[in-house]
Amino acid sequence: QVQLVESGGGSVQAGGSLRLSCEGSGFTFGTVCMYWFRQSPGKEREKVASIDMDGMTVNSDSVKGRFTISRESTKNNLYLQMNKLERDDTGMYYCAAAASRRRGCWSFTPEYWGQGTQVTVSS
């Protein structure tokens, strides 16, 4: 059974940093596409970043240069380092996995999702 559990969310002032973590189980963590998504009230879910089995990453334009996705496969952990946070970064952040996909992650929709962790950025 695939499980994804996020942690690390919280409240921070604009300009600050947070590091989100996602622990996965039930699949071979280091060989599939992994993602971070976010959703704010009244807005559509947004893909934030992806990482493939080779470590290639893609970020959305809204977070480019500020957020970094990484993976520590030996610990089945996915991370999202968020710097220079802005109020528009506020939302629920979700970890996701595409267990059947290894490369070309950005255009693919993952099938497994965590429960999310809340990030609130205040001015």
pLDDT in tens, 5-17: 999 999 999 999 9
Distance separating alpha carbons of residues 2 and 112, to the nearest angstrom: 7
User: What percent of the chain has pLDDT above 90?
Assistant: 87
Distance separating alpha carbons of residues 17 and 1, to the nearest angstrom: 33
What confidence score (pLDDT) does residue 27 get?
Answer: 86
Distance separating alpha carbons of residues 9 and 54, to the nearest angstrom: 27
Q: pLDDT category, 84, cuts 50, 70, 90? A: very high
pLDDT in tens, 44-83: 999 999 999 999 999 999 999 999 999 998 889 999 999 9
C-beta of residue 114 within 8 angstroms of C-beta of residue 97 = no
Q: Where are the alpha helices (DSSP H) in 12-92?
A: none
